[in-house]
Amino acid sequence: MRLGIAETLGALNAALGPGGPVWFKETRARHLRVRDFLAPRRALQARFGDDQVPERVVHAIVGLQGPGVAPVLSCAPTPAGLALQLRRSAVFERVLGAVAAYAAPTVPAALGPRVVLHCPALRGSPCALRLSQLRAVLVADHLARVLHAHRVSVRLVPAVRDPHMPTFLQQLRVDWPAASERAATEALRSRALAELTPARNTEALPPGALGRVCLKELVDERGRTTGYDPNLDSCLVTEDLLAVLAELQQAVQNWAEDSSLGLAAAPDAGADSCMVVHVVSCEEEFQQQKLDLLWWKLDDQAPLRQKHLVCGPVKVAGAPGTLTAPEYYEFRHAQVCKASALKHGRDLAQDPAWMEIFRVLPVATIKFEMLSTAPQSQLLLALADSSISTKGTKSGTFVMYNCARLATLFESYKCSMERGLYPTFPPVSNLDFSLLHDEHPSPPQGEWLLLFNSVLPFPDLLSQTAALPCTAPGLHITARTEMVCKFLVQLSMDFSSYYNRVHILGVSAQQKGICGGVQGKQRMRPAGPFLSSRSLDHTCLVKCLPVCSFCGLCVKCSTPGWPCWVSLH
């Protein structure tokens, strides 16, 4: 079983006896010099009074064992509180021995509710797509990927019908179904006609409208306390609106097995086991609330759980007029081409070897911008050329820059290994982890910072991003898309610092020409385990192992839960 931060914290808190959680995980490099977890002094005083923590409790903490619990090296009182350090060499061995498990999300113990993700913005054409609607589309796509990674059965609505929308979505690397045939609306139309309120003599209905349905009773019954707008009193029923309801109704009633992922609904799956999440821009929310209530009014089998994930407005600093989504893409694409021309001294936009890169980079920039702020908050976009610079550390460009560093590092090692300049990396089981004896480095080893702050917490991060509050009261829910972006920024900062400080691909014996008297022609074969063949204080390929194992897997296999722009092939 893989080691887990949550499991370790749970065991540590349980060892202190009854009461709330006390321990927390350290993240800062200066604290990791001396400890990995801390139980603050004030919290311990509240638990045990002014007396010290009983010796038997400390001994129990040092001997902690259990599924997912990391092995403990020491636990001792300090002025800050009870400081605990893990047996880092043992943690390295456990993690690197099964590193693929740490790049995958936790599989839930039981099937959760089926989820219909509804994104109304996809019913239009790309040229009419506002930036707030583009944000809703990217949030919906991100949620679909994360939920699929957690084995949640997901249906995507609507199937796009505009002939230009599939091409634009393909540009954005958004995977969304295309329409085949329209769902039948006859039953809904008959019910709507029976529910119509008498038309006023002065009211002229627009073409395609059947009449108005009163929603006030539903608002009074379930709307006011849950977040529905109290001004909702009626809805103009049109053929287009019935078509929208019919498609949602079909998605819930005809839930077929997802053969592409092997996901199936629970045997007793009905409307009650399904949750519909409407991912809408703030401009679309009022109309979507009408649609929710109308669905309940016309369909007795409509899901009881309908939630709104409302994306906040998108403001563009210094932009004249209103940018559409395609214009925004073209603007970012032009910036990337311009930046490349300035760097390389020539225009590479028409070079076949670069065209795919120039298609991917603006999409990566756009996705990071749209997802790095909590969806419900207002988003302010900066269009200046500096927004795609690698000089800052908070942008998607900085993350991609470090992805490129990693890709170059892996490729350099592979090529050099094929030429015999580096040995083939041995199996992890052959490495001597006992050489990781310096438990109090100052500053802390970069490998430990990367493993403890990035590799170990990653499965928990994926679980948190997929946690939709299904049973929470109220109409609105939130999604934590920004968590993945913040994680990637911090990972990039830690790796960049490590990369700048440590010469990962050191000079091999072959390159020096001193391996067994053979100068540069024979592959080095260490007598013992490779890890013990060199001091870990010197430049060594081993220093890159945690980063290579973790990030290499994610970049190579496009681990679900990471936004698709992470996988830049």
CA distances from 12 to 19, 22, 81, 440 (A): 12, 9, 14, 21
How far apart, in whole angstroms, are the C-alpha atoms of residue 225 and residue 475? 9
Strand ranges in 363-500 using DSSP code E only, listed in sequence order: 379-382
Helix (H) or strand (E) holding 362: helix 352-371
**Helix and strand element counts for the chain (H, E):** 19, 12
Divide the 569 residues of the chain into consecutive groups of 10 and give the mean pLDDT of each group: 91 91 92 93 86 86 92 93 92 89 74 84 92 95 89 89 92 88 79 75 72 82 73 85 88 61 46 83 92 86 86 83 87 84 70 78 89 92 68 76 88 90 85 67 69 90 80 83 90 88 67 41 32 30 33 32 30
C-beta of residue 517 within 8 angstroms of C-beta of residue 525: no
Asked if 324 and 129 count as a contact pair (C-beta separation under 8 A), the reply is yes
- Give residue 265's pLDDT: 46
Residue 84: exposure state from Cβ atoms within 10 A (0-12, 13-18, ≥19): buried
Half-sphere exposure of 75 (CA within 13 A, CB side): 23
pLDDT in the model for residue 423: 85
pTM, rounded to two decimals:
0.81
Distance CA 201, CA 198 (A): 9
Phi and psi angles of residue 84, each rounded to the nearest 5 degrees, phi first: -125, 135
Omega before 158 cis (within 30°)?
A: yes
127-157 residues labelled b (16+ CB within 10 A) or e (exposed) = eebbbbbbbbbbbbbbbbbbbbbbebbbbbb
Phi/psi of residue 453, each to 5°?
-95, -15
pLDDT at 386: 58
Beta strands in 272-333 (DSSP E): 274-281, 305-311, 314-317
Tokens for 234? 């009626």
How far apart are alpha carbons 428 and 93 in whole angstroms? 8
What's the pLDDT at 195?
78
Q: Note the pLDDT of residue 547.
A: 34
Rounded CA-CA distance 228/306 in Å is: 12
Number of residues that make up the chain:
569
Strand order in the sheet with 81-86: 24-25, 37-40, 81-86, 72-78
Taking CA 37 as the corner, what is the angle to CA 101 and CA 108, rounded to the nearest 5 degrees? Answer: 35
How far apart are alpha carbons 137 and 542 in whole angstroms? Answer: 42
pLDDT value of residue 308: 92
Alpha-carbon span 178 to 538, nearest angstrom = 55
Specify the pLDDT at position 62. 92
**CATH homologous superfamily, domain 114-198+206-255+272-316:** HUPs (3.40.50.620)
Contact 446, 497 (CB under 8 A): yes
CA distances from 438 to 29, 36, 87, 302, 441 (A): 16, 14, 11, 62, 6
Neighbours of 327 (CB within 10 A): 15
**Closest C-alpha among 103, 104, 89, 92 to residue 551:** 103
Tokens 């610079």 label which residue?
389
Residue 74, classified by CB atoms within 10 Å of its CB into exposed (0-12), middle (13-18) or buried (19+), is middle
What confidence score (pLDDT) does residue 546 get? 34
Measuring CA to CA, which residue among 225, 404, 375 is closest to residue 313?
A: 375
Domain boundaries, the chain: 5-86, 114-198+206-255+272-316, 323-382
